[in-house]
Amino acid sequence: MLDSRTIQVIKSTIPLLESAGPALTQHFYQRMFKHNPELKDVFNLAHQHSGGQPVALFNAVAAYAKNIDNLGALGSAVERIAHKHTGFLIQPEQYAIVGSHLLATLKELGGEAVTEEVLTAWADAYGFLANIFINREAQIYQESAQQDGGWSGVREFIISEKKAESLEIASFVLTPVDGKAVKDFVPGQYLSIKAQHPKLAFDEIRQYSLSDAPNGQSYRITVKRELNGQVSNLLHDVLQVGDTLSVMPPAGDFTLAVQAETPVVLISAGVGQTPMKSMLNQLLKLKHPNTVTWLHACEHGGVHGFKSAIKNKLGQHANLASHVWYREPTKADVLGQDYDFVGTMNLNSVADKIVANAHYYFCGPIGFMASIKQQLLAFGVPSEQMHYEVFGPHAEL
């Protein structure tokens, strides 16, 4: 445990951190990639360019400093980050590299306020937290390797099916090259894909939600084509059935966990429906006895993925209901057939589905999820019955 003086010194640096803001972590990443360019094969450089990763790291560092005397408050964040790290195959020795650049950044940007005592305190605090992550990630690695169909590190998978689900998204069924079983996962989790291709300057690792129920033989991911997405465009335009990908075991802490008597509401916008689809398929596969409600929002019918699949399931499962919002339907879209409401998702339109004892899982753009959370709170839904996933660097709603 950290001693009281270390805790006191760390908390005294909070004003320094807040005054520096994300510029602190931007400097950190620039410094680290300059001195350790090999890490460009590990980190998602798209998130560096967008600024999302530096902001997420700054928020994490600030939260650690503010809760240094109450680390239990960071338990969920630690679990989420540990799962993310295993998807990038982070190893203990890399924590030492990160720690050295973090301390150097504090010294370079903090001026006279960063004394030797401050550096020592942050070195101790960082080392303490790093050990928590190292131990938890070792457990995740071990659990993944020991499960039936599990493995450690990367495993080669072949693209056995490729299917366009809409104008923007495509599904890829991945089957192991060795022909052996694959470990089960919990719906809501994701696969980490390591892409290596002459079109890429570096190895690129991306994490894509699994979009089907576990079957022990293959995985399915569904990927949105991003405007400047190196890996998403590679998957959509270049890689075909028969090509191979290096894959890490399923991971993630956004997972379906409900009792049989619990109503479930799955809420999504755009490609956020991918983890919802995995949850839906699992609930129906297991014949969930209570109601399951599918609420989805998108721009128009051209980008409405899984439309036919959901309609087919509605005809097969009496406890399943679906409601869809199109923000700007086209002339080809038919009200009552392709969609139910125009505009952004307003839960007042389906107030009878927002019940007190249900659990709500939602995924989509940050603004969409923030709106859904506020709407659910207005209905009196307790926050502990809301579960959400942010694609990319985490952000609070």
Q: Which residues are catalytic?
A: 95, 137
23: number of Cβ within 10 Å: 12
Q: Which of 69, 47, 50 is nearest to 1 (CA)?
A: 69
**Residue 344 vs residues 89, 336, 349: alpha-carbon distances, Å:** 38, 16, 11
Q: 206 among the known binding-site residues?
A: yes
* CB-based contacts of 19-27 (< 8 A; 24+ apart in sequence): 20/109, 20/110, 21/58, 22/51, 22/54, 22/55, 22/58, 23/109, 24/58, 24/61, 24/105, 24/106, 24/109, 25/54, 25/55, 25/57, 25/58, 25/61, 25/105, 26/51, 26/54, 27/105, 27/108, 27/109
Q: 393 among the known binding-site residues?
A: yes
Q: 275 among the known binding-site residues?
A: yes
Query: Residue 314, SS3?
Result: helix
In the chain, the amino acid numbered 17 is L
In the chain, the amino acid numbered 175 is T
Q: 273 among the known binding-site residues?
A: yes
Radius of gyration of the chain (CA): 22
Q: 240 among the known binding-site residues?
A: no
32: number of Cβ within 10 Å: 20
Q: Which of 271, 102, 94 is nearest to 170 (CA)?
A: 271
Q: 324 among the known binding-site residues?
A: no
Q: 249 among the known binding-site residues?
A: no
Query: Residue 389, SS3?
Result: strand
Q: What is the distance between the alpha carbons of residues 294 and 273, in angstroms, rounded to a whole number? A: 10
Q: 22 among the known binding-site residues?
A: no
- Please name every residue paired with 266 in a beta bridge, in sequence order, or none if there are none: 294, 361
Query: Residue 125, SS3?
Result: helix
Residue 100, C-beta contacts closer than 8 angstroms, at least 6 positions apart? none
Q: What is the distance between the alpha carbons of residues 60 and 179, in angstroms, rounded to a whole number? A: 41
Q: 271 among the known binding-site residues?
A: yes
Burial 151-162 (b: 16+ CB within 10 A, else e): beebbebbbeeb
Q: 219 among the known binding-site residues?
A: no
Q: 85 among the known binding-site residues?
A: yes
Q: Which of 255, 264, 267 is nearest to 370 (CA)?
A: 267
Strand order in 244-251's β-sheet?
204-209, 190-195, 244-251, 155-164, 169-176, 219-224
Q: 133 among the known binding-site residues?
A: no
Residues making up the binding site for NADP(+)? 270-275
Residues making up the binding site for FAD? 190, 206-209, 390-393
Residues making up the binding site for heme b? 85
Residues making up the binding site? 85, 190, 206-209, 270-275, 390-393
